Amino acid sequence: MAGEAIVLEDVSKVFRVRRRAGRFRRVSEQVRAVDGISFRVARGEVVGYIGPNGAGKSTTIKMLTGILTPSAGRLRVAGIDPARDRTRLARRIGVVFGQRTTLWWDLPLRDSYGLVRRLYRVERRRFEENLERCVELLDLGALLEVPVRQLSLGQRMRGDIAAALLHDPEVLYLDEPTIGLDVISKSKVRTFLRDLNVERGTTVLLTTHDLTDIEQLCSRVMVIDQGRLMYDGAPAELREVGESERTLVVDLAAEAPPIEVEGARTVRVEGPRQWLAFPASASAAPLVARIAAAHPLVDLSLREPDIEQVIARMYAQGGEEPQARGAATGRSGVG
Ligand SMILES: Nc1ncnc2c1ncn2[C@@H]1O[C@H](COP(=O)(O)OP(=O)(O)OP(=O)(O)O)[C@@H](O)[C@H]1O
């Protein structure tokens, strides 16, 4: 359908694995990596796709690129069935894996880009324009003649993102795009992706374990666990669903017993520094005022809950009913 970049309808992927059961016996088992997932991503959306290790994120992305065929369900990317028409789809999508490179290890970046151009048969003028834009915005000018093997992780990641965009894909999948990067590189990558989305309307689906990626880039986040969609909605609401906590870190003038204050509990004390946890939905200001009234404060900082903690809490609540907002829900009782 026009207006929709990605459509999944009740998609499952089952792997058959053989496991040893005793000295001579082997049993065949099914792993439901993706278990009846449905969602739609509109053109131009930037969506986070998150979940704990083994949740089924990579399997979903592999199905979206056509590397894996779904065991059941219907899947469309830019109107194309990825498994049936993988080559045609490749011209419409870009893929970046944070943990490995798609560039040629021994070649300078510029030569890698030349190969990408030929591989995708990108028209020269369009290629030159896209390259110039990526070089400028991703700060690659000084790196074009450097072999990929000599690039730092952050430089290589920026190089990989450029490579994925030289053929003007409508949909971009990013698997952990900021993993292992320093603060400045992370910020460069995020700014670039935001601009790309605004200027070109590129649809972005990204997996990450970094909550800041989600907060700074995504208007929507989907959480999966054990192959099922647990949440589909705004990132801000995810915190409330997860009943997560923020942490106030206070530095007192001197060592003191654990602070007792209404609305928070002290979870750690190290010399004059204390950590106080309070509900993420509550405002920090009155809490700070109450602490400051009773204790001489030297410094303080606020820590947001990390995504792993939010997810862990979501599942600890039971999670029988998927906490999904919007159209998509996970399916329970399968398997
Ligand atoms: N080729 C395969 N054969 C058998 N099982 C597989 C295969 N690929 C994935 N799985 C299993 O499917 C489940 C989902 O794996 P997947 O790699 O999609 O998770 P993930 O959410 O990407 O995890 P991570 O965050 O660790 O990358 C896991 O139980 C995994 O062991």
| Rounded distance between C-alpha atoms, residue 242 and residue 24, angstroms | 46
| Rounded distance between C-alpha atoms, residue 126 and residue 205, angstroms | 24
Cα torsion through 99, 191, 311, 285, rounded to 10: 140
Q: Would you call 260 exposed, middle or buried from its count of C-beta atoms within 10 A (0-12, 13-18, 19+)?
A: exposed
Asked if 259 and 233 sit in the same domain, the reply is no
Query: Which residue CA neighbors atom 31 of ligand 1 most closely?
Result: 54
Q: Which atom of ligand 1 is nearest the CA belonging to 62?
A: 18
Asked if 214 and 93 sit in the same domain, the reply is yes
**Residue 109, in any domain of the structure:** yes
Q: Where are the beta strands (DSSP E) in 21-133?
A: 26-42, 46-50, 72-77, 93-97
Asked if 140 and 271 sit in the same domain, the reply is no
**Residue 329, in any domain of the structure:** no
Residue 33, ligand 1, Cβ within 6 A: yes
pLDDT tens, per residue, the chain with 335 residues = 457 999 999 999 999 998 888 888 888 889 999 999 999 999 999 999 988 888 899 999 999 999 999 999 999 999 999 999 999 999 999 999 877 788 888 999 999 999 999 988 899 999 999 999 899 888 899 999 999 999 988 889 899 999 999 999 999 999 888 887 888 888 888 999 999 999 999 999 999 888 788 888 999 999 998 899 988 998 877 766 656 778 899 999 999 999 999 999 999 999 999 999 998 778 899 999 999 999 999 999 988 766 666 666 665 554 444 444 333 333 222 22
Residue 194 has which token pair?
């935001």
Q: Tell me which DSSP letter residue 43 carries.
A: T
Testing ligand 1's pocket by substitution, the residue of 17, 28, 31 carrying the most ligand atoms inside 8 A of its CB is 31
111 by DSSP, 3-state: which?
helix
| Rounded distance between C-alpha atoms, residue 173 and residue 168, angstroms | 13
According to the model, what pLDDT value does residue 324 have? 42
According to the model, what pLDDT value does residue 256 have? 92
302 by DSSP, 3-state: which?
strand
**Residue 332, in any domain of the structure:** no
Output b/e per residue, 202-240; b: 16+ Cβ within 10 A. bbbbbbbbbbbbbbbbbebbbbbbbbbbbbbbebeebbe
Residue 51, ligand 1, Cβ within 6 A: yes
According to the model, what pLDDT value does residue 2 have? 53
**Residue 330, in any domain of the structure:** no
Provide the domain count of the chain.
Answer: 2
Under 8 Å between Cβ of 90 and 173: no
Overall pTM surpassing 0.90 (yes/no): no
Query: Which residue CA neighbors atom 7 of ligand 1 most closely?
Result: 15
Q: Residue 271 is part of which domain span?
A: 245-304
Asked if 295 and 234 sit in the same domain, the reply is no
Integer-rounded Cα radius of gyration of the chain = 23
Asked if 139 and 262 sit in the same domain, the reply is no
Ligand 1 center–CA 227 separation, angstroms: 9
| Rounded distance between C-alpha atoms, residue 18 and residue 44, angstroms | 42
Query: Which residue CA neighbors atom 16 of ligand 1 most closely?
Result: 56
Task: Give me the half-sphere count of Cα atoms (radius 13 Å) on the Cβ side of residue 48.
Answer: 27
